[in-house]
């Protein structure tokens, strides 16, 4: 099979719409559909806010269900990729995304792997421009500390007794080797335009830092256009806005 580069040119139309549950819109699920007559044998990668979150299973597939927080603004993009090497279908190609040209950055996100070598009452603090932006317990009350553990299979399905998530229900790679786990995450979608610095600090419950702040990166935030107002539809079908 001839290698095909990652592309967005094959998509004629993409539609993301809410799903219904008990007659009401589900705020956590989105039905994604696309039309791509020239997709060929490519699979489709789905990106949300420039992060690869899903990949289609078959070149003939034209829709999927996404788990998203619909209370927040989400930017969805599709990318058709070759399937010569199926193990590489989860390799992100962020540089090939061009729905926003030039690329736009309007926020920032942090992911911290919970290190079980530190105390259970450790707090993670996000520093934005050297000021505390947010934070919280690395292990809140609803977060398990262990993984598969010595009692694997003894507890309820998906959870080991006296340990943590089991049966692969955690996030792969987000816990100690051979164990399930989940990451501590922070995200802010709307940051003031301009240059910013972002760092993470681990500290004790009384505010004492455990180590030097971990500088993640410097970032430049773009100014987004203001939201449309005065949306209206006139006969026969004319959409207007300001």
Q: State which of 38, 61, 96 marks the end of a domain.
A: 96
Query: Which residues neighbour 154 within 8 Å (Cβ) at sequence distance 6 or greater?
Result: 160, 161
Residue 43 domain flag: yes
- Same domain? 121 vs 200: yes
- Give 166-188 pLDDT, tens digit per residue: 565 666 666 665 566 778 888 88
Going across the sheet that includes 63-67, the strands are 13-21, 24-35, 63-67
Confidence of residue 165 (pLDDT cuts 50, 70, 90): low
Q: Which of 25-39, 140-154, 197-211, 219-233 has the lowest mean pLDDT?
A: 140-154
How many helices (H) and strands (E) the chain has is answered by 0, 14
User: What pLDDT does 76 receive?
Assistant: 92
Assess contact for 205 and 91: CB atoms under 8 A. Answer: no
What is the mean predicted confidence (pLDDT) over 6-14? Answer: 92
Secondary structure percentages of the chain, helix, strand, coil, to 5: 0, 40, 60
What is the number of structural domains in the chain? 2
> Is 229 inside any structural domain?
no
Mean pLDDT, the chain, integer: 80
Residue of 204 and 99 predicted with greater confidence: 204
When computed from its CA atoms, the radius of gyration of the chain, rounded to whole angstroms, is 22
CA distance 18 to 27: 8
CB of 182 within 8 A of CB of 174?
yes
Q: Is residue 115 part of a domain?
A: yes
Would you say residue 159 has pLDDT above 70?
no
Q: How far is CA 129 from CA 133, 215, 218, in A?
A: 9, 11, 9
Q: Is the pLDDT of residue 204 over 50?
A: yes
pTM over 0.75? The answer is no
Please check whether residue 55 lies inside any domain of the structure: yes
Give the per-residue pLDDT at 155: 63
Please count the other Cβ atoms lying within 10 Å of the Cβ belonging to residue 68: 19
- Within-domain flag for 136: yes
What pLDDT digit, counting tens, does each position of 104-121 carry? 777 788 888 887 778 888
Structural domain of 82? 13-96
Residue 80: pLDDT band (50, 70, 90) is very high
Whether residues 62 and 88 share a domain: the answer is yes
pLDDT tens digits for 12-51? 999 999 888 888 888 888 999 999 999 999 999 999 988 8
Which H, E and C letters describe 82-114, residue by residue? CCCCHHHCCCCCHHHCCCCCCCCCCCEEEEEEC
Q: Does position 153 have pLDDT exceeding 50, yes or no?
A: yes
């Amino acid at each position: 099979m001839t290698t095909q580069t990652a592309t967005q040119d094959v998509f004629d139309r993409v539609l993301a719409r809410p799903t219904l549950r008990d007659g009401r819109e589900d705020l956590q699920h989105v039905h994604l559909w696309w039309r791509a007559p020239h997709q060929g044998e490519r699979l489709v990668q789905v990106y949300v806010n420039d992060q690869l979150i899903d990949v289609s299973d078959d070149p003939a597939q034209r829709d999927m269900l996404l788990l998203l927080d619909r209370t927040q603004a989400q930017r969805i993009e599709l990318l058709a990729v070759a399937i010569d090497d199926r193990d590489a279908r989860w390799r992100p190609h962020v540089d090939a995304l061009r729905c926003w040209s030039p690329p736009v950055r309007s926020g920032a996100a942090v992911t911290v792997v919970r290190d079980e070598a530190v105390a259970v009452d450790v707090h993670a603090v996000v520093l934005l421009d050297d000021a505390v932006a947010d934070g919280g317990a690395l292990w809140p009350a609803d977060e398990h500390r262990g993984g598969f553990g010595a009692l694997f299979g003894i507890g309820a399905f998906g959870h080991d007794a006296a340990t943590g998530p089991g049966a692969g229900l955690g996030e792969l790679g987000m816990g100690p080797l051979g164990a399930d786990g989940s990451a501590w995450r922070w995200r802010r979608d709307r940051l003031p335009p301009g240059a910013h610095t972002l760092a993470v600090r681990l500290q004790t419950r009384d505010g004492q830092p455990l180590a030097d702040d971990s500088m993640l990166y410097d970032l430049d935030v773009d100014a987004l256009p203001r939201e449309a107002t005065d949306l209206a539809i006139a006969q026969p079908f004319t959409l207007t806005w300001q």
